Structure 1
Amino acid sequence: MALTTNPGTPPEAICFHQGSLLPEVVSICKKCIAPKPPRTHHCSICNRCVLKMDHHCPWLNNCIGHFTHRYFFMFCSYMLLGIMFLMVFGYKIAYDEYHVSHKMHFKESELMQGLYRELQFRFSRGWSVWANPPLLFHSHCFPQHAENVTVPTAPTKNSRDFARRYYITFTALVCIGVFFALGALTMWHARLITNGETSIEAHINKKERIRLGKEGIVYVNPYDFGPRRNWRRFLGLTHGRTWRHLLWPSAHPPEGSGLTWDTIYQTG
């Protein structure tokens, strides 16, 4: 959904109404020279204004705006849960590969070395391999009988075992890297949602707090209704929707059209 859904753009119909700008328009975009509603910003990559723009996601090749913000956040959250699932249930596989199988491989390698030396010893003397099966481990038990035989070093690693360990190591490194990177990104956006702001608004609000702080004024985000209400508005848990809509795939749109926004200064 985050990949194919239009993030939302100001329709041309809101530009003029009976020769004047509609109330939804609060400023003019300097890039496309067109009226834009509040919380709307211009995307230089898409070359268009996006409603409640957060950022342009290169992984989804789409803008994260009013109609895609929730899909993007849920995508990150479910990806993070998937990585955690792989790490938790893949730990035993990695542990068995690097610890248990290492001890077993050490014992098996000693046995295989004995078998290899015995076979080489029999071939060098022209004996039949199955002439005396009980003596198949003879050189392993009594290596002095094969002291004068030049035997090439037996292979100590199996290509299949090496490939298995390589894939496990590669998967572990990818999972760990994605876990920390995606985890930090998800936590960052969770913090923004809690504060009722987007990535762009976070920078704007920070500058406003510094500017007004010098004048002794406390800046208040007009779109911050409190953590609980911010999350419900963001996730679209209105009109009878409950938290189960997050556990199962749901394509319900966000609240509102993205053209107008309620603020904490409005009553009723």
Structure 2
Amino acid sequence: MVTFRWRTYKFSQLLNYIIHLAQKCVYTTKSLTYNNCLDQNYAADVCMEPMFWFVDNFTNTIGPIFVVVVAGLTASVVVIAYYIGLPYWWNRNPYMCVFLVIFGNWLLLNVCFHYYMAVITPPGYPPQGELITEAVSICKKCISPKPPRTHHCSVCNKCILKMDHHCPWLNNCIGFQNHRYFFMYMIYTVAGVLFLILAGFELAYEELYFAIDDADEPELEGHPVKFNKTGAIIPVDVAYLDPVQDFDLQNDELPTTSSWRRGALIYMALLNCAVLLALGGLMSWHSRLIGKGETSIEANINRTETQRLAKLGKTYVNPYNFGSRQNWRMFLGLVQGRSWLRHILLPSAHQPEGDGLIWHTVHDRLSHIH
């Protein structure tokens, strides 16, 4: 039989070795992950890096698919509205039906026009191979001059004039040339789905409510009968029922709301409500940005600068904020005699003011807008 004898000094040596090894592991891990500039934003960027990589490498691939999806969803909504909604309103009130058709097609025309223009219109790029005297920095990725308000898009791999963001649903960047088309598309789409919800609310309520109410009624069981001229009840042989003459005796042939009709109305309700919430929130956020004279990228930059200067006891002023009313006029291009009726309420392909290279600021003595 073998006897193990433990000595105190050997046990202490083993314990010290384990502690020393654990400390080395801790110090090694800290040395590999040490960063003097580490903060919450840096950690968030590191965690989101895989998502950024996916967006950069696959957005161009799935962008055309998203465009087809948007076109398909829009077409399906229009078809259902005409096939179900138009007969309903025509039977109820022909005059109201005519008004709804005219108003709805005006919204549809603006939705299709602004989406098409936002997709095909380039966002605007700095000129290549030319001396840009207005440049304020050099793009680290393009190794080319960057004018004011210009940012590099990692998806398009180009610098974009007054870049706001890259939209996969348009398969295009939103920048200087097509920012207005993008925003007007959101405006008219939100107005369109709200119009469909209000115009089809009573129709959907009647169809779905009575369909559910009929489903809750118990089925009647018993031998089918009919009345003769004297009022006597005569049993009827089911095998010899005439489906035309005895239509009222067969419950399964009673006129009810078809399943595809209910499904189409449920599809319309869910899709319109989802678009109203999602696109309505995005439209509201962009409205605030436009009123402040900034893009979504500039909003983050301005917030960071405001916090940095606040710590120094200074106030940051957005150089492109001319006031809410003037900001909206410049964004919508309502200058040089342009009007709301011709250039906002109706489809208009007018270009934004300027060339996207030179930007007047609130520090200029003379404004370029008269």
Same fold by TM-score greater than 0.5: yes
- Residue 155 to residue 219, structure 1, CA distance change in 2 (3 Å): same
* Structure-1 residue corresponding to 2:107: none
* Structure-2 residue corresponding to 1:262: 360
Letter in 1 for 2:224: E
Q: Does 1:83 align with 2:193?
A: yes
CA deviations over 1:25-50 (Å, ceiling 9, x no partner): 11000111110100000000000000
Shift of 1:99: 2.7
Out of 36, 39, 62, the position equivalent to 2:146 is 36
**Structure 2 SS opposite 1:42:** strand
Moved over 2 A (4+): 98-107, 121-124, 154-160
- Report the identity percentage: 50
CA–CA distance in structure 1, aligned partners of residues 349 and 364 of structure 2: 29
CA–CA distance in structure 1, aligned partners of residues 335 and 129 of structure 2: 28
Shift of 1:97: 1.0
Mean CA deviation greater in 5-14 or 55-64 = 5-14
**Structure 2 SS opposite 1:86:** helix
Out of 349, 356, 368, the position equivalent to 1:251 is 349
Q: Does 1:118 align with 2:224?
A: yes
Letter in 1 for 2:363: Y
Out of 148, 152, 157, the position equivalent to 1:47 is 157
Shift of 1:223: 0.1
Q: Counterparts in 2 of 1:129-148, with a 5 A limit?
A: 129=241
Q: Counterparts in 2 of 1:51-70, with a 5 A limit?
A: 51-70=161-180
CA–CA distance in structure 1, aligned partners of residues 155 and 323 of structure 2: 33
* Structure-1 residue corresponding to 2:80: none
Letter in 1 for 2:122: N
Letter in 1 for 2:237: F
* Structure-2 residue corresponding to 1:6: 122
Out of 274, 290, 296, the position equivalent to 1:199 is 296
Question: Do the aligned residues in 1 keep the contact of 2:211 with 2:257 (CA within 8 Å)?
Answer: no
Out of 159, 163, 171, the position equivalent to 2:268 is 171
CA–CA distance in structure 2, aligned partners of residues 42 and 11 of structure 1: 14
Shift of 1:122: 3.3
- The one of the two structures with greater contact order (alpha-carbon pairs below 8 A, sep at least 6) is 1
Q: Counterparts in 2 of 1:73-112, with a 5 A limit?
A: 73-100=183-210, 102-103=212-213
CA deviations over 1:10-39 (Å, ceiling 9, x no partner): 00254x3xxxxx431110001111101000
CA RMSD of aligned residues (A): 2.7
CA–CA distance in structure 1, aligned partners of residues 358 and 334 of structure 2: 19
CA–CA distance in structure 1, aligned partners of residues 159 and 189 of structure 2: 29
**Structure 2 SS opposite 1:222:** coil
Question: Do the aligned residues in 1 keep the contact of 2:165 with 2:296 (CA within 8 Å)?
Answer: yes
- In structure 2, runs of 5+ residues without a counterpart are 1-116, 226-234
Shift of 1:215: 0.5
Shift of 1:241: 0.2
- Residue 194 to residue 155, structure 1, CA distance change in 2 (3 Å): same
Letter in 2 for 1:122: V
Which structure is higher in helix share? Answer: 2
CA–CA distance in structure 2, aligned partners of residues 157 and 56 of structure 1: 54
- Residue 117 to residue 88, structure 1, CA distance change in 2 (3 Å): farther
- In structure 1, runs of 5+ residues without a counterpart are 17-21, 141-153
- Residue 220 to residue 156, structure 1, CA distance change in 2 (3 Å): farther
Shift of 1:129: 3.8
**Structure 2 SS opposite 1:56:** strand
- Residue 85 to residue 205, structure 1, CA distance change in 2 (3 Å): same
Shift of 1:162: 1.6
- Residue 129 to residue 26, structure 1, CA distance change in 2 (3 Å): closer
* Structure-1 residue corresponding to 2:42: none
Shift of 1:161: 1.6
**Structure 1 SS opposite 2:224:** helix
